[in-house]
Amino acid sequence: MKYCSKAIVFTALLGFSFPLNLAVQGQSQQAVPDAPAPQPAAPLSGVNGPITPGSGTPGVDAATGSSASGQTSTPLPAPQPPQQQPKPQTAPAPSGPDNAGAPAPEEGSAAFTKFVVNLTFVEVPVTVKDSKGNQVAGLTARDFKVFENNVRVPLNYFSVDPRPLSVAFVIDQSLPSDVMAKVNDSMGAIQGALTPYDEVAVFTYGNGPKEWTGFTGAQGNRLPAVLALAKSQGTDMQVPINSGPLYGCAIRQNGNCVDPNLQPGRSAGNNSFGNMPKELHTLNDAILSAAKELSTRPKERLRAIYVVSDGKEYGSKATLREVIRYLQTNKIAVYATAVGASAEWGVGYVSRLHLPFTMYDNILFKYTLATGGDLYSERGTNGIEASYAKVAEEARSKYTLGYISHESIYDSKLRSITVLVDRPNLDVISKRGYYPSAQDK
């Protein structure tokens, strides 16, 4: 008996499950009864109807929440989704201009060093003409040679695709009345030279610039309405009288002239001699105002200023050098149609000469040469209208060259540009240089 007890305890401790058949002295082996048979589960209590799908409760309507017996039961709470364990957060990458846009280093990877090299991309629109003044098409990138500061640079970009125009029209209202009438009659042809993708702003000047409208659609209804308002009568030349019995004030008040500009003496002269008022032609200020408006246009558009004037300049606050620098910095080309005395044969070339202490008679050619534009001289209305179409076609169908400058981006000096074509008897028109800007990086 003691041996059997020790065996049972040893078996329970070890966790074995084998039958134990031990003969016990003085006792007979008994039969092991069978396990009870499985019985069917008892029916659920309180179920009087079918199980409603979606309710989760037997016999309960999901819409009303009432059972078949008319009692209202409380719906079971919806099971909550298992909560996800938060992922371990990694330290963010250092921020700064040197790490802008750089991918974060992978976990476990070695540290890396990023080198930033700032480059200046220079875009040079070029027009090529033959000896007759017609544009030359069909040239490739191999036909061009570009030099910056007398050092040849390889081309990184070449395109002949036309681009939409952003044109600022600058109209001179200080022209003589007969010339001004021709300009007024030609304004209706401006819209016909442009496409629906172009945009136009209108400026005028006489004694100071005036903006009539900002950039608007070239084929919209606003442009012809603004051009009609921008028409002027011009100015008529009169015989100057600065001495003699006819000089003086016809109307006086308290012994003085009513108009102080005609009062003799002091800054206007003396009692016997008077200084006549000087003419004002603020061409520099007008081009600068148009350039400031153009500088806000997108880079993918060609920026151009179109001037209709005789080229006279006097009385502007901005100097010619300052305006040209602003144009070359913001990639703006100046085109012009010279009218009046500047368009006459022989007189137009003489008007480019400047005598000290006198008014500039024509400075339009300086703007066009420095910015890569073109200058036309027209005397009649038909010629002025034709020049609109020529300028629009020439500005749209340029060769666009691009290269990476080898100069430092941190200087603000003028960088000269020279473009050559490996074909004889061709005239290449491009800007003479540019000033680096942060927008070119």
Q: Which residues contact 168 (CB under 8 A, 6 or more apart)?
A: 200, 201, 202, 203, 290, 291, 293, 294, 304, 305, 306
- 398 φ, ψ (degrees, to nearest 5): -90, 155
Nearest-10 crossing angle of helices 320-329, 283-294: 20
The pTM is what? 0.68
For the domain spanning 122-235+279-440, the CATH number is 3.40.50.410
For residues 339 and 379, the answer to whether their CB atoms sit within 8 Å is yes
- 157 φ, ψ (degrees, to nearest 5): -150, 140
Token readout for 314 is 């006097």
Q: Which residues contact 410 (CB under 8 A, 6 or more apart)?
A: none
Give the pLDDT score at 236: 76
Give the pLDDT score at 100: 47
Helix or strand holding residue 399 (H, E): strand 399-404
Residue 128 to residues 60, 137, 138, 397, Cα–Cα distance (Å): 89, 8, 11, 10
Token readout for 126 is 């070029």
How do the domains of the chain map onto residue ranges?
A: 122-235+279-440
Rounded to whole angstroms, the Cα distance separating 252 from 374 reads 51
User: What string of DSSP letters covers 276-318?
Assistant: PPPP-B-HHHHHHHHHHHHTTS-TTSEEEEEEEE---BBS-SS
Residue-level pLDDT, tens digit, the chain, 441 residues: 444 444 444 444 444 444 444 444 445 556 777 777 777 776 666 555 555 555 544 444 544 545 444 444 445 455 555 555 555 555 555 544 444 444 555 555 555 666 555 668 899 999 999 988 899 999 999 999 999 999 999 999 999 998 899 999 999 998 999 999 999 999 989 999 999 999 999 999 988 899 999 999 999 999 999 999 999 988 876 666 556 555 555 444 555 555 555 554 444 445 555 555 677 899 999 999 999 999 999 988 999 999 999 999 988 999 999 999 999 999 999 999 999 888 888 787 788 888 887 788 899 999 999 999 999 999 899 999 999 999 999 998 899 999 998 888 778 889 999 999 989 899 999 999 999 887 665
User: What string of DSSP letters covers 174-214?
Assistant: -SBHHHHHHHHHHGGGTGGGS-TT-EEEEEEEESEEEEEEE
Give the pLDDT score at 63: 47
